Amino acid sequence: MNTSSLPRIAVLATGGTIAGQAGDASKTAGYKAGVVGVDKLLDAVPALGSVARIHAEQIASIDSKDMSAALWTTLSRRVAALLAQDDIDGVVVTHGTDTLEETAYLLHLTVKSAKPVVLTAAMRPSTALSADGPLNLLNAVTVAASKDAAGQGVLVAFNNQIHSARDVTKTSTYAVDAFRSPETGALGFVQDGRVEFQRTVVRPHTVASEFDVPAGQWPMVEIVASYADVSRVVVDALVAAGVKGIVVAGTGNGSMHATLTQALVDAMKHGVVVVRASRVGAGHVMRNGAANDDALGSVSAGTLNPYKARVLLMLALTSGVKDLQRVFDMY
Ligand code: SIN
């Protein structure tokens, strides 16, 4: 086979269970994430050689629960730099499942390229019987090598499905089909080398996004949940610590306990931005729905979950956006 005409895909490894190792092949929990290097991950999938020419880089070797904003900056810049090269046709990022949706949305809003960017991961360590990582990696490279994936924003290829970075979320602690896009469904599927999209992403992303990673420090934005008998201790401590924004993981449709609401009103008097999201996991939070945002001065997160709302708020504060509801309605 003449492979010189195959697309050239950069695979950037960051760690995760896909690079996890257990002492026993029957173990799918109690392993160490992020220890197997990118070359070994690629060696486990010989079929990659007939899909793409691979350029591999080890960006990090972490359990994604420990993802940092500094690593987001490094990753976003490296993905953008590679995609700016004429000899790179797409990028795949291997990642842990735990914060994959946050990193994916961050890249969706900051990488200014129409070339495909695809994240993938695994629920079982690389040493497990029936490890899911090798097929997920093959599928991710197959999607990244597909012309149909261009211009779709950052994608997540997992368990034969293709999801948009904006909509996808982890919905299971152990199941192999751990990712869903609750409000919208998957964009399409990848099966036995066939990539098929059934819908496109309508909200702006990548080349149409107004955001970039900060040149220096990221603004401090934290998430606070509302629940029965919640106190104001956390909000008051965050204000004292200099927080710039608080995303509320509200009950139901973004409602907030009266005690928390009073603490947040006081926080806003100190210039803190408050965004209402929901802890429910599906559905949207409507402006002036469960709370009067006009009167309170808060912003509603729409269909973004609290973790993605935090990503957007950090980027918007970095860009000095004044009309925050606009960006939550738009992105
Ligand atoms: C991680 O997120 O790095 C560990 C868990 C996983 O990848 O499934």
pLDDT of res. 1: 74
What confidence tens digit (pLDDT) does each residue in 128-151 have?
Answer: 999 999 999 999 999 999 999 999
175 and 241: one domain?
no
CATH assignment at residue 171: 3.40.50.1170
124 and 32: one domain?
yes
Average pLDDT over residues 64-88: 98
The alpha carbon of 68 and the centre of ligand 1 are apart by a number of angstroms equal to 14
What confidence tens digit (pLDDT) does each residue in 146-161 have?
Answer: 999 999 999 999 999 9
Question: What is the Cα–Cα distance from 248 to 307, expressed in whole angstroms?
Answer: 10
Query: Sign of the CA dihedral 151, 152, 153, 159?
Result: negative
Residue entry with tokens 């204000």: 239
Average pLDDT over residues 235-250: 98
- Decide which of 145, 176, 205 is a domain's last residue: 205
pLDDT of res. 214: 98
| Helix orientation angle between 258-269 and 233-240, rounded to the nearest 10 degrees | 10
Compare 2 and 129 and report the one with higher pLDDT. Answer: 129
On whether the pTM is more than 0.75, the answer is yes
137 and 279: one domain?
no
Average pLDDT over residues 226-255: 98
H-assigned helices in the chain: 38-43, 69-83, 100-110, 133-144, 233-240, 258-269, 293-296, 306-318, 324-330
Give the number of other Cβ atoms within 10 Å of residue 196's Cβ: 12
Which parts are annotated binding residues? 64, 97-98
- Whether residue 163 contacts residue 138, with contact meaning beta carbons closer than 8 Å, is answered with no
Residue ranges around ligand 1 (CB below 6 Å): 15-17, 33, 63-65, 96-98, 121, 123
Instruction: Please say if the pLDDT value at position 55 is more than 80.
Output: yes
Distances (CA, A) of 252 to 72, 225, 263: 31, 11, 19
What single-letter amino acid sits at 331? Y
258 and 304: one domain?
yes
- Which of these ranges, 22-31, 68-77, 275-284, has the smallest mean pLDDT? 22-31
β pairing state of 179-180 and 299-300: unpaired
265 and 167: one domain?
no
89 and 185: one domain?
yes
Average pLDDT over residues 280-308: 98
Question: What is the Cα–Cα distance from 76 to 151, expressed in whole angstroms?
Answer: 17
Residue nearest to atom 7 of ligand 1 (CA): 96
Residue nearest to atom 1 of ligand 1 (CA): 96
- Decide which of 178, 205, 232 is a domain's last residue: 205
65 and 117: one domain?
yes
Residue 194 in domain? yes
The alpha carbon of 199 and the centre of ligand 1 are apart by a number of angstroms equal to 28
Residue 169 in domain? yes
Residue 74 in domain? yes
pLDDT of res. 304: 98
User: Which range of residues forms the domain containing residue 27?
Assistant: 8-205
Pick from 14, 27, 63 the residue to mutate for probing ligand 1's pocket: most ligand atoms within 8 Å of its CB.
63
CB neighbour class for 227 (10 Å; exposed up to 12, middle 13-18, buried from 19):
exposed
Residue 212 in domain? no
Average pLDDT over residues 22-30: 93
Specify the ligand 1 atom closest to the Cα of 16. Answer: 3
Average pLDDT over residues 288-300: 98
46 and 96: one domain?
yes
What is the pLDDT confidence band of residue 16, given thresholds at 50, 70 and 90?
very high
Per the structure, the count of domains in the chain is 2
Catalytic residues: 17, 97
Percent of the chain with pLDDT over 70: 100
Instruction: Please say if the pLDDT value at position 117 is more than 80.
Output: yes
Which parts are annotated binding residues for substrate? 64, 97-98
262 and 322: one domain?
yes
Pick from 14, 97, 177 the residue to mutate for probing ligand 1's pocket: most ligand atoms within 8 Å of its CB.
97
pLDDT of res. 2: 80
- Which of these ranges, 27-31, 92-96, 186-190, 319-323, has the smallest mean pLDDT? 27-31
CATH assignment at residue 304: 3.40.50.40
Residue 26 in domain? yes
- Decide which of 171, 205, 239 is a domain's last residue: 205
265 and 241: one domain?
yes
Average pLDDT over residues 185-192: 98
